[in-house]
């Protein structure tokens, strides 16, 4: 059955001087699907691999011949080669239709059909169905899977997980997801900007104001049963998943090393799933900070033995170590450097370790905050190394310290360095004193009652990774948009009237970006009388992408639910008396809040975004 396609009258969907000129010249080519053989290692067509890695590419990319798949594959393969696993790589066979912003001047006064929006939705459905079919119905029932998805492919991946049993999946990684959902990014002062309540699946999203994607939000983001098996990466200024508006950032996941960062985590998950030792680790910089007060005399030998064992493993693996001791500033005792990253050999470390004597300091707590800040700031930490501070103590700590050093000062410097992970070994009664410090620095606490070799293995198997969030990002004024009224012009036409303080508004229909308008009234024609269409209006200033409003409407029907204060005072105008609005709320506003200015000009090699042209005919 042939369906009518909605037509949108955009009074002036035109280029504006407020926007970077490059938005008007970006193009993307819709690639045809090229069927190529699956790329295998250590297996053949008649056998089943231990592991299969499937990547879902982004919009308009050619299967296999695209930089994102190639980088994802190369980053993982370099680590898989250190194992004895048999494995296969595949770039998912699905349409991956091209969508986005083309030449805005071509759209002035045009009627925009929804053919491409239907095609985009069909592409996602086809991809999700194919991916689920491969996992669920393949002949290799014991093969485990790792999944990756970029941009449109990220939407495909998460939709497919709804149909796949979690036990078949080791890990699923999304990159540049246009439907990202990070509740900790909501509000003018988001929890993420304090490093609080970070979503488990937030692996690298430096923008602490990132909340929802440009095309709305997938809520809940992780399907049931996939806790710990899904992670998301969003580049710093990516218009699709951060609160900024850089297209250049969206096409720079290869150049910015995000697939390599993901591969380190994914390989650690693979090693755990197949129960083999992870032979791939980053170089290590590990500093030891030992409480040398008199009360430590009972435990000092046990602490020293663990410190020496970890130092020996670190040095043998090509890492570096440093050794300090500390007491309480009230005793006029400042941290002592016994040897640093540039001077510590195993022999010198062992010799200096023996010279640390537990004496003095009859009271507690001790001056750990001041001492740890001193150690972090006095050493030269290598870029790309795993950075650890191992603290050995039997006492609590001043907070703030006697010299004014605060918990926040220590946490901030730890994060700034990349971070420095704090590992505290203490007595059972002081375990609770150090939980917040370990959590703030992404470290751990152990007690003398635990098997301390576990801590050594944990540190040695850890790899350098990008920070989950940057808590000290600046903010800029937030553009806003409020829908004032929606009018029924005819049984198949609805006009949306809105007010915004932004010079322009991004308009999307059914997950397809149509373009940018400086009008504040848009008429939607030929709306489907059965299926709701999703319209997203996003205010855009020179500095920021503001809070989006998501409308769901079809012929003669709409409603607007309250949410984020955006829909208060809406006036629905029913021009045709025989048509009445549906009573249930069908609008879901989303919010992006605040962000940094980004004026990066895309290079000629990046993958741009196009706006769909109205098709002559088409089926849904």
Map 1-49 to HEC letters: CCCCCCEEEECCCCCCCCCCHHHHCCCCCCCCCCCCCCEEECCCCCCCC
Q: In whole angstroms, what is the distance from residue 341 CA to residue 355 CA?
A: 18
Which of these ranges, 261-275, 431-445, 527-541, has the smallest mean pLDDT? 527-541
In the chain, domain spans: 37-97+124-273, 284-460
The answer to whether the CB of 22 falls within 8 A of the CB of 251 is no
Residue pair 499/520 in contact (Cβ under 8 Å)? The answer is: yes
The predicted structure's pLDDT at residue 471 = 58
163 by Cβ neighbours in 10 Å (0-12 / 13-18 / 19+) ranks as middle
Determine the pLDDT at residue 298: 83
Mean pLDDT of 241-261: 89
**Residue 106 confidence (pLDDT):** 28
> What's the farthest any 2 CA atoms get from each other in the chain?
91
Confidence class of residue 562 from pLDDT cuts 50, 70 and 90?
very low
Closest CA to 31 of 55, 60, 59, 70: 60
**Least confidently predicted of 36-50, 420-434, 444-458, 535-549:** 36-50
263: which residues sit within 8 A by CB, 6+ positions away?
Answer: 72, 75, 76, 78, 79
Instruction: Pick from 139-148, 263-272, 380-389, 432-441 the range whose average pLDDT is largest.
Output: 139-148
Asked if 147 and 269 count as a contact pair (C-beta separation under 8 A), the reply is no
Any idea which of 319-333, 496-510, 565-579 has the lowest mean pLDDT? 565-579
Closest by CA position to 487, among listed 422, 544, 560 = 560
Grouping H, G, I as helix, E, B as strand and the rest as coil, residue 320 is: strand
- pLDDT, tens digit, 9 for 90 and up, residues 481-517: 899 888 877 777 778 889 999 888 888 877 777 778 8
Looking at 3.40.50.620, 3.40.225.10, 3.40.50.10860, 3.40.50.1820, the CATH number of the domain 37-97+124-273 comes to 3.40.50.1820
pLDDT score of 222: 96
Q: Taking Cα atoms as reference points, which of 325, 319, 317 lies closest to residue 290?
A: 325
What confidence category does residue 107 fall into, taking pLDDT thresholds of 50, 70 and 90?
A: very low
Q: 322 — phi, psi (to 5°)?
A: -140, 155
Contact 495, 11 (CB under 8 A): no
CB 509 within 8 A of CB 6: yes
What average pLDDT does this structure show over 594-607? Answer: 30
Measured in whole angstroms, how far is the alpha carbon of residue 616 from the centre of its chain?
39
Q: Which residues pair with 549 in a beta bridge?
A: 537
Which of 233, 238, 173, 242 shows the shortest CA–CA distance to 207? 242
Does position 331 have pLDDT exceeding 70, yes or no?
yes
Q: Return the number of other C-beta atoms located less than 10 Å from residue 433's C-beta.
A: 19
pLDDT value at 273 more than 90: yes
Which residues make beta-bridge pairs with 106? none
pLDDT(558) > 60: no
Q: CA–CA separation, 202 vs 462, rounded Å?
A: 18
Region 465-469 average pLDDT: 68
- Residue 275, both tokens: 């129960």
Mean per-residue pLDDT, 58-68: 94
- Average pLDDT of every residue of the chain: 77
pLDDT for res 568: 33
In which residue are the tokens 């944990």 written? 458
**With helix as H, strand as E and coil as C, how does 507-543 read?**
EEECCEEEEEECCCEEEEECCCCCCCEEEEEEEECCC
Band (589; pLDDT cuts 50, 70, 90): very low
Instruction: Kindly give, in sequence order, each residue whose CB lies less than 8 Å from that of residue 193, ignoring residues fewer than 6 positions away.
Output: 208, 209, 469, 471, 472, 473
The pLDDT of residue 370: 95
CA-CA distance, 350 to 20, in Å (whole number)? 60
User: For residue 308, what pLDDT band results from cuts at 50, 70 and 90?
Assistant: very high
Let me know: does 385 contact 285? Beta carbons within 8 Å: yes
Asked if 37-97+124-273 and 284-460 have one fold, the answer is yes
Return the higher-pLDDT residue of 181 and 106: 181
Q: What is the mean pLDDT of residues 58-70?
A: 94
Arithmetic mean of pLDDT, 256-285: 86
Domain 284-460 has CATH 3.30.470.10: no
In terms of residues, how long is the chain?
620
pLDDT at 80: 94
Phi, psi at residue 7, to the nearest 5°? -115, 135
Q: What is the pLDDT of residues 403-460, one digit of tens each?
A: 999 999 999 899 888 789 999 999 898 999 999 999 888 888 988 777 666 666 667 6
How large a percentage of the chain has pLDDT more than 70?
73
User: How would you classify the pairing of strands 386-392 and 284-291?
Assistant: parallel
User: Is a pLDDT exceeding 80 seen at residue 29?
Assistant: no
Predicted confidence (pLDDT) per residue in 188-221, tens digit: 788 888 878 889 999 999 998 899 888 888 999 9
Close Cβ partners of 413 (under 8 Å, ≥ 6 residues apart): 373, 376, 377, 420
Per-residue DSSP letter, 391: E
- Pairing relation of β-strands 521-525 and 493-500? antiparallel
The Cα 532–Cα 487 span in angstroms is 16
Take residue 223 and report the two structure tokens written for it. Answer: 């399907």
State the pLDDT at residue 52: 98
Decide if pLDDT at 254 tops 50: yes
pLDDT at 524 over 50: yes
CA distances from 160 to 55, 166, 203, 250, 598 (A): 12, 11, 21, 23, 34
Q: What is the mean pLDDT of residues 350-368?
A: 85
What per-residue confidence (pLDDT) applies to 609?
Answer: 29
C-alpha 481/C-alpha 548 separation (Å) is 7
First to last CA, the chain: 9
């Amino acid at each position: 059955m042939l369906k009518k396609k909605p037509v949108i009258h955009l009074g002036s969907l035109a280029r504006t001087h407020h926007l970077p000129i490059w938005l008007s010249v970006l193009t993307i080519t819709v690639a045809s699907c090229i069927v190529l053989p699956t790329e295998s290692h250590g297996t053949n067509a008649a056998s089943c691999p231990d592991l299969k890695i499937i990547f879902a590419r982004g919009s308009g990319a050619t299967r296999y011949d695209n930089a994102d798949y190639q980088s994802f594959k190369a980053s993982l393969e370099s680590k898989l080669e250190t194992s004895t696993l048999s494995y296969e790589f595949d770039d998912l066979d699905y349409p991956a239709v091209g969508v986005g912003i083309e030449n805005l001047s071509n759209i002035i006064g045009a009627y925009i059909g929804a053919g491409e929006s239907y095609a985009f939705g069909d592409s996602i459905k086809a991809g999700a169905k194919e991916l689920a079919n491969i996992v669920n119905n393949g002949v290799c029932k014991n093969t485990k899977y790792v999944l990756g998805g970029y941009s449109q492919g990220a939407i495909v991946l998460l939709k497919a997980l709804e149909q796949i049993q979690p036990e078949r999946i080791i890990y699923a990684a999304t990159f540049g997801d246009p439907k990202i959902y990070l509740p900790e990014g909501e509000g003018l002062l988001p929890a993420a900007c304090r490093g609080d309540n970070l979503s488990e699946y937030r692996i690298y999203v430096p923008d602490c104001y990132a909340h929802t994607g440009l095309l709305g939000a997938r809520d809940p983001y992780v399907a049931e049963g996939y806790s710990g098996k899904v992670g998301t990466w969003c580049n710093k200024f990516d218009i699709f998943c951060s609160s900024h508006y850089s297209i250049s950032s969206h096409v720079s996941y290869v150049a910015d090393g995000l697939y390599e960062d993901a591969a380190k985590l994914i390989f650690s998950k693979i090693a755990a799933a197949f129960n083999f030792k992870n032979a791939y680790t980053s170089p290590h910089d590990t500093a030891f900070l030992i409480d040398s007060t008199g009360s430590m005399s009972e435990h000092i030998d046990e602490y020293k033995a663990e410190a020496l064992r970890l130092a020996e493993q670190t040095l043998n693996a090509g890492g570096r170590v440093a050794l300090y001791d500390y007491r309480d500033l009230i005793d006029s005792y400042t941290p002592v450097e016994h040897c640093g990253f540039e001077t510590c050999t195993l022999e010198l470390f062992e010799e200096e370790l023996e010279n640390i004597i537990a004496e003095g300091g009859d009271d507690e707590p001790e001056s750990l905050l001041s001492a740890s800040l001193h150690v972090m700031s006095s050493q030269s930490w290598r870029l790309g190394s795993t950075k650890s501070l191992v603290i050995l103590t039997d006492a609590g700590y001043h907070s703030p310290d006697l010299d004014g050093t605060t918990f926040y000062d220590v946490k901030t410097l730890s994060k700034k360095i990349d971070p420095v992970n704090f590992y505290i070994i203490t007595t059972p009664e002081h375990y609770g004193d150090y939980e917040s410090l370990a959590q703030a620095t992404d470290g751990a606490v152990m007690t003398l009652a635990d098997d301390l070799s576990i801590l050594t293995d944990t540190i040695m198997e850890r790899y350098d990774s990008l920070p989950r969030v940057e808590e000290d990002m600046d903010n800029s004024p937030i553009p806003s948009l409020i829908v004032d009224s929606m009018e029924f012009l005819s049984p198949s036409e609805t006009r949306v009237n809105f007010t915004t303080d932004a010079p322009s508004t991004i308009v999307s229909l059914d997950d397809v970006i149509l373009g940018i308008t400086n009008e504040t009234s848009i008429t939607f024609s030929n709306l489907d009388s059965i299926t709701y269409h999703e319209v997203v209006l996003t205010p855009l200033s020179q500095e920021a992408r503001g809070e989006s409003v998501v409308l769901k409407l079809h012929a003669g029907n709409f409603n607007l639910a309250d949410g984020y204060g955006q829909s208060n005072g809406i006036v629905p105008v029913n021009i045709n008396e025989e048509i009445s609005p549906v009573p249930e709320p069908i609008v879901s506003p989303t919010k992006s809040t605040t962000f940094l200015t980004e004026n990066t000009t895309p290079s000629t090699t990046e993958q741009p975004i196009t706006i769909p042209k109205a098709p002559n005919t088409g089926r849904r």
